[in-house]
Every structure is written in C-alpha cells, then in structure tokens.
Structure 1
C-alpha cells in the first residue's frame, strides 16, 4: 500500500509532521520522550488497525502502539515509523447480567471503572485512571483489587487481536489457546489488541486509604511491624509503603465493607503505635472511583520521568535496612505494594505473567522538569535501586526501562520465556512488533 493508499483507506485520521494536532498526538506521559513518527494514524476501527499493519509491512516501517502512552520508555512513539493511535477506539460496554465488559483497545482505565461501577461491578484496573487498559493488561495489571480478584490479565475472557499478517483473530482459552496464554502478561509482542472482554465482580464501591508517616529514626521498627501484619492481612487490604524525603509512610488501601475496613485499620494503627509514634496520620474514606483517581495528578503528564523496579519475595530485616539507608541527593521516591492473595492463587505456568510468589513490588520513581537534571536524577535512581538488586527475585515487565534481554530475563521465568518465544515464532516471526519489552523470535 502506498502513502496515498493509506490516506484513502483509513476511516480515522492520518497525521504527518507539520499537520495540525501532530505534536499533541506524539506527546506521551513521560516528558523525556521526543520522537517524530512519519505517520500517526488515529484509528477509528479494527479495519484501520489492519490497514496500518499492512502499510507498515509493505513500507518497512517500525510500528508503535499508543493507548494511554504511560510506558516509561515511550515505545508507542515510533521515530520515523508509524504510530497506531488507538485512543479514538475508547468505548466500554458492560453487560451487568453476565458480568462482562467489552473494552476497546484505546480505552483508559477510568472509562472501564466508571462504566462498571454504574452496575456495582469492577475488575482490577491499575491505580491511575488515565493509564491505558491495553498496556496495563497485556503486561499483567496490578491494582487495588488484585489481591481479591487477580491481576487484570487474569480477568480477560477473550481478546480481539490484529496479528503481524493483518489477520484479525478472536483469542480465548478455546480459540488460539497458546496466544491467549501469551497475551496474559507477555506484553505487546504478539499483535494489536483492539478489544478485551473482562470478567467483572460485585464491588460495593467503598474504599479506605490509611497512611501513618514515621521519621527515619523510628521507621525501621515500624516497618518491621507493618511487614508482619501484611502477611496475614485480609484480601480486601493491600498494604502500601511510600519512602520519601519527609519520612516513611506505612499503611494500606481497603476495598470492601467500610466497617470491616475501619476495624482492620484500627488494628494496624494500634500495632504501629505500639512500636513507634507516627508524626502524621491519615485515614480517608473514599468511593472506589475516588480511589482510582486519587493519584491522577501525581502521575500526570509532561513530567520528565525515570524509574527502576524489583520484585521481592520477602521483606527481610536486611532489606528493610537497605531500603531505609538513603544517603545522597536527588533520590527517588519509593513505593512498596503487597502482592499475594488471588495473585498467588494462579500458578506461574497458567499465564505468561511470572513472579506469582512476589510479596512486594518495589518501584523507585523520579520526576523533574529541567532537562539539565536528566543525568543526575537518572543516576541517583539507578544507584539507589542497584543497592537493592541482591534482594530481588525479578521485576514487573510494565516497569522495565531500556534493559534489553537482561530485563526480559528478570520479568519472565525461564520456562515462560521459552514458551513465549515459541508463540512469537508462530505469530510474529519477523518481529514486526518489536517496540515493546521485546521477546525476540528464535530466528533473531
């Protein structure tokens, strides 16, 4: 297909450098990403996606796939290539009887949350409402409901996928089962997902967020007690810690019955106060939708960003000491979020997502505005996260940076990686979809 053929075929909009809206369309969440695709196609339907894939193949163009644009590396923005912009395909349809949601590939998490909560339903959908459903889910999909209902990928019933040959497939446990397995955690390596079908769960829409901040002098004792309480926490509770310049915030997020949550938080507060006195206490009752948007401003667009992540299978005393040994300037803020519960109920072999035995996910995240600070802020985050590498058991594929094959080996078990490579060989042997955390076909 020629350039003129692309313009004539697409039902949506084709943008090229110099067109009105081009610069806005190429801008993504991480303000460090400044690339210029040759074409940005704002797809109106699955047929547009098929046309893009075939055009890219015919013209030997790199392909980036954009939804929310939250990937830290900015893979969506294919420099001098073709960006498939799925955002116009952002619809969500909920069937409250079957408890199913059909979600187009360009939808944001907030759209899914709002549509489902109209019927008293929800499914695991991250922590920030302007994240794309597609990228989150294909990499696994952690969220405040994961300990109750599993990861986002565990809740996918079926996918509509455009493959590297331009074929459109309906993929489920019964149809193309190996591809279905790979799409649940293997990232965007195997095609463009134009629709997800999710299982939904009854949720009352009530939540509580509790945090108790301790100065560094007393935080080791408090963090050890917080860790011990997390091990026996109900599945409605997701323990969370934030380590920053002002101290160490230890708490939990509760989604479920408000009275039960208040009792759990009262117990946590009493246990923590027994070993150390917090200097700030915060207990906030929220609706589920408020919970899902409370980090939207903090995680807003345009900031320059860098992060490093680890999985920890346990939070031993030595690791806690290392986490709290923060010396130097420009150190990143750190989050720890508890896994377990329904996440661990699924065996590693059941989906491509690896690391089901993770106890806590660690992310060290920096954000700033001045490009002159890039090297300094990135170096500080790398240095700090590097001191913790000896404790790590792997990493979440959705927080990998430009780590290449080493990152892929951290994100997937050896067995899962072999199986993912076989699926790549079957569905994308030419590696058309390589702008991602790439699982290379066996041919190289």
Structure 2
C-alpha cells in the first residue's frame, strides 16, 4: 500500500517523496528544537509550487494533517506532523535580486542567510531576523522583527506580494490590489491561510557596515544601569536598536546594534559610557552578514529548548527588578532573559494596516533556556515559565512568533479582539475546514 501510494504521488512531483526508512527521512524530520521527535507518515520535499499543490491535495485525499517546514524553528514542532504529511519547502530556496528596482523575489523555503548574502552583494537588505538559519517564510508571516525594523519596518511591512497555495490546492497571487483582504491577513497572521511559495520584498540601501556595542555589568550593578539604558532608549536614533540581556552566567549585557556608517554612532557610544562602570566593554564594527549570523552557534539545532515572551509598552522600575531576578530570587535555575527595542518605523505603520498587532510596543521580552539531557526537561521548563510569569504584570501582549505552548490563550494575546474577529472571517473564507491548523491557530467558526 505504501509503495503504491509513494509511486502515485512521486510521479506527480518535481521533488522527492520520503517515507519512513527512506534515506534522508530522519534528517528531514529533525528540526531546531531537540525535544521534537515526530514521525510523519510521508514527507514531500517540494521543488516547485506545483509540488506544494500536489502535497496539499494528497494530504486531503488521505486525510492527513499538514505541517510545513522551512527553517523548522517552531518551538513546539508545528512543521513535523506526527503520522501526517510534512511539506518540506527547503529545496525551494532561490533568491532573485533586482538591484536597480530594489526588489527581491524569494522562494518560500529560503533561509535568512541566503537572503542576506544575495542582497548584500549590492549593499541592499530588507528586514529579517537575527539568526541566519531561520526561515524567511515563518518569520515574515508572523511579522518579522530584525535589526532593520526601526528604520524600515518589520519584514511583513516590506512585502510587495505573495504567491500562495490555498487549502483547496489553488495558486493565488496576493498584494495590496489582488486579494487585499488576504494581503492584510498574511502580514502578521501566520501560516493560517495557506502556504506561501514566493515573497516579493522591497530592499533598502544600507551599505554593508554595522556596529555592535555591548557593556557587561555584574548582576548587583544591573538595576541602575538598566534604568539609565531604558531612559537613553527614548532618545535613540532609528539606526540603533537597543538590546539588554542577562545570561545564565548571571551577568547583564546592555548595548545596541547600529546599522549604517559606524562613525555616526560615536555620539551614542559616548552616552553609553555614562551608564555606569561595566566589568567589560566591547564596541566592534562588523559586516551586516556577520551580524546576521553571529548568534547561529548559540541558536544551533539539536539542543532541547523552551522559551516564552511578552510585549512591553512600559518598563518601570518594578519591571527592571523582575527582569533581573527572573522569577527566582533565591538564584536557582534562572534562565536567560533579553530585551529588544521596538519603535521607529514599526510604530509609523497604522495599526489597522495589517494583522500584526502591538505596534506601540516599547520592548520585546524573551526568556529561554537550552539543555541536552531529557532528565532536565521539567526543571528547565519550569524555570522559563517562572521567569515569564514574573514579567507578566507588565505585559501588553505577545509576538505571535514568540508563542510556544500557550494555545488559544496565546493567540488571543497576540491580536486585539477586533483583529482576531477579522482573522477568523478570513479563515472562514480561505480555510473553513482548518486544513492549516498546525500553527498558532486561528480557528474558523464551526
């Protein structure tokens, strides 16, 4: 039966169909979070939009759940449906750059590093995330925060058009003038409405140089330094994105990332020297491509992982104390925490312009932990939950791409009631049977 099924589907594919036991099956089903060990009934390694159409129709024919893989960074393993059909987009990884028109056409399986390298040949870029092995598709459909966002908006704000396969297996083009309702929903609504096989992005002339400034403080000096850092952020130029983090080594690192001519950051560097007396300071110029991949090793595949996040519209002194203590004032099992500044061009976009919500966010908070031994799962997950709970009184929502296992409650936090109602209406129109439900799901009216 499996052989007959494989033969029938494979004959319609440009790519490959993998079944359990086939060469490449285990490598393809392995994703970023080492806790995920799901076994799809079949995997379609899509080499064309037609392959995605074939896979969607086959899944519906055999009544199989659909999971879609690009970078595979979903913390709960949405990309890998157990006993379902996994559509692996990674063979669809082409990027075509039009430097004169400042546009890039990017296939749905491309990773951020491929995009960055292709556009930086011309000194161009568009907003993308901070880890180069992240998938363009998942990042962009949820919004897409990155170092360029304060200057040029989120990744979703820079999309000109999408090519998408619907739940019925139809191929549609989506833009402001073609299916504008769906264009609104794809800009922040996640993978709820279809599988995007190509994005068209606007590009921006940023050059190739960046600067990273980092000042490390012992934990007992972190609170006053964070207060000064917070106040300085209110005056930050749009070229700068402020960051703060406390690692599992119990030191606090405050700083900023600057995109553009490093010499223009000199004044901000001097102002950072007034935050206090750091134990260490590092101010370094690097290429934009190197900046984009500097977290790749820390965020590597195969580690067991758990994380949670919040959006913060304010960061009062009490929140700073909670950030430093991370839900464990006794010092035990405190996970890493971090902050990244929003504002600038993100907030310039009218809230009603897209499904993406919480544009008035001041900082995005994240807490996470990684480990290798399954025996540590319970204590590690509990620590991250405590850390997130300590910041919850100051939260004003959540980034949909930062959701983990919160389910429907998390989706309600990601969108306003008005936007969620509009997203449900779109789901009713484009996926009334909830074919695409392995995501942070917007359920249709049943």
Superposed displacement of residue 204, structure 1: 1.2
Superposed displacement of residue 383, structure 1: 1.1
Query: Over aligned residues, Cα RMSD in angstroms?
Result: 1.0
Stretches of structure 2 that go unaligned for 5 or more consecutive residues are none
The answer on whether the counterparts of 2:143 and 2:356 sit within 8 Å (CA) in structure 1 is: yes
Match of 2:239 among 236, 240, 244: 236
Q: In structure 2, what is the Cα distance between the partners aligned to 1:379 and 1:397?
A: 21
Superposed displacement of residue 3, structure 1: 4.5
Please state if 1:268 is matched with 2:272: yes
Q: 1:228 aligns to what SS in structure 2?
A: helix
Residue of structure 2 equivalent to 1:103? 106
| TM-score relative to the length of structure 2 | 0.97
Q: How many residues align?
A: 439
Q: In structure 1, what is the Cα distance between the partners aligned to 2:59 and 2:130?
A: 34
Residue of structure 2 equivalent to 1:373? 376
Q: In structure 2, what is the Cα distance between the partners aligned to 1:329 and 1:267?
A: 34
The answer on whether the counterparts of 1:141 and 1:153 sit within 8 Å (CA) in structure 2 is: yes
Please state if 1:255 is matched with 2:281: no
Match of 2:145 among 124, 127, 142: 142
Superposed displacement of residue 369, structure 1: 0.4
Q: In structure 1, what is the Cα distance between the partners aligned to 2:268 and 2:369?
A: 32
Residue of structure 2 equivalent to 1:192? 195
Residue of structure 1 equivalent to 2:15? 12
Residue of structure 1 equivalent to 2:124? 121
Residue of structure 2 equivalent to 1:294? 294
Residue of structure 1 equivalent to 2:45? 42
**Partner deviation per Cα, 1:279-331 (whole Å, 9 max, x = no partner):** 01111110111100111111100100000100000111111111112434222
Please state if 1:212 is matched with 2:215: yes
Residue of structure 2 equivalent to 1:313? 313
Q: In structure 2, what is the Cα distance between the partners aligned to 1:384 and 1:292?
A: 27
The answer on whether the counterparts of 2:306 and 2:369 sit within 8 Å (CA) in structure 1 is: yes
Superposed displacement of residue 2, structure 1: 5.0
The answer on whether the counterparts of 2:6 and 2:17 sit within 8 Å (CA) in structure 1 is: no
Q: In structure 2, what is the Cα distance between the partners aligned to 1:161 and 1:323?
A: 40
Q: In structure 1, what is the Cα distance between the partners aligned to 2:115 and 2:263?
A: 27
The answer on whether the counterparts of 1:2 and 1:55 sit within 8 Å (CA) in structure 2 is: no
The ranges of structure 1 where at least 4 consecutive aligned residues each deviate by more than 6 angstroms after the TM superposition are: none
Q: In structure 1, what is the Cα distance between the partners aligned to 2:173 and 2:237?
A: 37
Q: In structure 1, what is the Cα distance between the partners aligned to 2:35 and 2:220?
A: 36
Deviates more, 1:79-88 or 1:314-323: 314-323
The answer on whether the counterparts of 2:123 and 2:207 sit within 8 Å (CA) in structure 1 is: yes
Q: 1:362 aligns to what SS in structure 2?
A: strand
- Cα 1:391–1:380, aligned 2, differ >3 Å: closer, same or farther? same
Stretches of structure 1 that go unaligned for 5 or more consecutive residues are none
Please state if 1:172 is matched with 2:175: yes
Residue of structure 1 equivalent to 2:135? 132
Please state if 1:30 is matched with 2:33: yes
Superposed displacement of residue 21, structure 1: 0.9
**Partner deviation per Cα, 1:35-66 (whole Å, 9 max, x = no partner):** 00000110110000000000011111000000
Superposed displacement of residue 266, structure 1: 2.0
Match of 1:402 among 385, 405, 414: 405
Q: In structure 2, what is the Cα distance between the partners aligned to 1:285 and 1:330?
A: 34
Deviates more, 1:114-123 or 1:427-436: 114-123
Superposed displacement of residue 362, structure 1: 0.4
The answer on whether the counterparts of 1:364 and 1:385 sit within 8 Å (CA) in structure 2 is: yes
The answer on whether the counterparts of 2:216 and 2:253 sit within 8 Å (CA) in structure 1 is: yes
